[in-house]
Amino acid sequence: MPAKPRSTRDKTNKTASKNKVGQKPVKAQKTTAPSHPAPVETLRQTIAYFFVLSYIPPDSLGEFIYRTTPKRQELATSAGMEAVEYFRAVTPEICRRMVAFHQASRNPDAGLVESLVKKALVLDENPAALAAYQEEVERLAVLPGRAKAENRLHRNKGCRYCLSPCRFGYFTLVSDPHLNDLGILLDEEAALPADKQTPIRPLYAFTMTHLSRVTGSGRGSIAPLHLSNLAYCLLLLSMARSRQPMPERQLGLFQGTSLAFLRKISHNEGG
């Protein structure tokens, strides 16, 4: 993950350039593994970070890189490495695990892994490079290993209602969402008068807080339609661990309402 986008404000570029993840694009075959493998927890957090990069609007790349510099440094330090060295070394393993998940295989296709690695290593060069990485992740999401309803992580808890390919299942596993906090927010919403209640409000608030915690950025960043589907996925995960799951009809209504709400916002903002 090399340079920062040139379109970023001067102040952002000046500060972020001191903390680049890499300096030049690195070919996958020349990338070496860390001399001391990253701790499991560090690797898990890094996978989550790469997934968030697949969700943010490409035009927000500069600001995102600037705000998440401390997190990248924290991850590298945990592995006993400099940030540039760490991300160059760990990217192939991150990509291998992402492809393995979407193929539901312990032996992911080498060509798919290599293609993802090449794009991941340069994704922070500019918004176009990030968009290319995101397109690669989109292609993985439609692989039958996880895209088919019967292969999804939460298939018995509402995944069959999801209107999107499985972009969030692995992220919800590796990012360790604090689902007890979501339960509290939902209880607070339920305590409001019936005409004031909306399940979207606490779910979106929880999702944005979770993204902020994952990236250490101070606030969450995600494209609107990804927000809708990630919130839904987190809801399903919460239900899977709950003794009082939401009725199936409400799951379908939630996602339909959520998507309609976000499309309206996007239209009003000219998106």
The verdict on pTM exceeding 0.85 is: no
Task: Say which DSSP state 137 is in.
Answer: H
pLDDT in tens, 30-59: 444 444 556 899 999 999 999 999 999 999
Alpha-carbon gap, residue 230 to 91, rounded angstroms: 23
Task: Establish if 194 belongs to a structural domain.
Answer: yes
Report residue 200 as tokens.
């979207």
Task: Establish if 254 belongs to a structural domain.
Answer: yes
Alpha-carbon gap, residue 125 to 119, rounded angstroms: 10
pLDDT in tens, 142-190: 888 877 777 776 666 666 666 667 788 889 889 999 988 988 888 888 8
Task: Establish if 25 belongs to a structural domain.
Answer: yes
Number of structural domains found in the chain: 2
Residue 55 CB partners (closer than 8 Å, separation 6+): 167, 221, 222, 223, 226, 230
Same domain, 247 and 142: no
Q: Which amino acid is at 51?
A: F
**Mean of the pLDDT values across residues 90-101?**
96
Same domain, 138 and 18: yes
The domain boundary, picked from 131, 147, 163, lies at 147
Same domain, 179 and 252: yes
Alpha-carbon gap, residue 204 to 189, rounded angstroms: 12
Same domain, 98 and 206: no
Task: Establish if 5 belongs to a structural domain.
Answer: no
Q: Which domain holds residue 225?
A: 149-268
The domain boundary, picked from 147, 166, 189, lies at 147
Same domain, 43 and 22: yes
pLDDT in tens, 215-257: 999 877 899 888 888 888 888 778 777 765 565 666 666 766 6
pLDDT value at residue 192: 87
Same domain, 199 and 123: no
Task: Establish if 234 belongs to a structural domain.
Answer: yes
Alpha-carbon gap, residue 226 to 205, rounded angstroms: 14
